[in-house]
Amino acid sequence: MPVFAGCLTESGASALRTAVEFLPGKLQTLIVDVSPDESVAKAAAYPDTATKQYGGLHAVVNNAGIVGSSFFDDMLSAKDYKAMAEVNTFGVIRVTQTTKDLVKRTRGQVVTVASICGRVGLMGLGPYTVSKYAVSFFRSQLLQELRYFGVSVHILEPGFFRTLLIDEKRFQARLDEMWKTVPEAVKEEYGEKFFKESRERATDMLHKISSPHVHLVVDAYFHAITARFPQLRYQIGIDSKFVFIPLSYLPTGARDTFFALGEKLTGAPVPQHALRKCAPPKSTSIMIDDTKSYSSDGSA
């Protein structure tokens, strides 16, 4: 099967070519950053001519993704959410839109990797969860629109797997860099003890629940592309199938209670001033971001 692999760096492309040197099939690497429009447009122009000898482009797999800065929202900024969305959400949209016409010609497939985080919001993974949730519903839109052209649209919802995204040393290094930029008032509110314990707890939990069997995700790609009757959704991993998917069907209150009990039973750390008693406010103020409404006599 001829494959055009988008790689972020030349070193990554070189390593991939070396890894598949003795495998059957044909591989061509393309240097592409899915964040800038220009980079995606340039990379997508190549398969237009290069795939003619194969009868066209038969499938697109959106796989690029980052974890970026993910922790409590109080310690993040809008820039952290935007940086995540540029790759995880808008990267998928860019690649899909620039290759969509090619896939229409062959009545092929569009395969996109979301995450189980697109189904269940997990504490400390806000930007990642938001970006994957958006991807999930972008796929739902495409599914309805592209069926007119015989194109099938598929989404993968893997649980946690041991890839470089959650490498322990890299994960902790990202958190340490993030903590340096947190305002002093927030550091005081949460406390360094809470941060360190949460960092160790998150790292330990990711190591325990993540699966080393990354080939299961690749197998799902392959099945979605080649099967006579591919699945529309692929839940991959024991945690995805038997923990997060069942949780996603619970009522919101029940799901939140489940998480709260889990934190309590496992002794999860709490912010330094989480239980601080505050005097009730003397008055209540509300900010509404909207235009003013006026009565018929012109008064507000």
Active site residue 234: no
How many angstroms separate the CA atoms of 88 and 266, rounded? 31
Sign (positive or negative) of CA dihedral 156, 162, 166, 170: negative
Residues 95, 79 contacting (CB under 8 angstroms): no
212: nearest Cα among 162, 164, 158, 165: 162
40: nearest Cα among 101, 119, 99: 99
How many angstroms separate the CA atoms of 47 and 34, rounded? 16
Token pair 């990797």 is at which residue?
113
Structure tokens at 275: 């239980």
Name the catalytic one among 128, 190, 221, 234: 128
Question: Catalytic positions, please?
Answer: 128
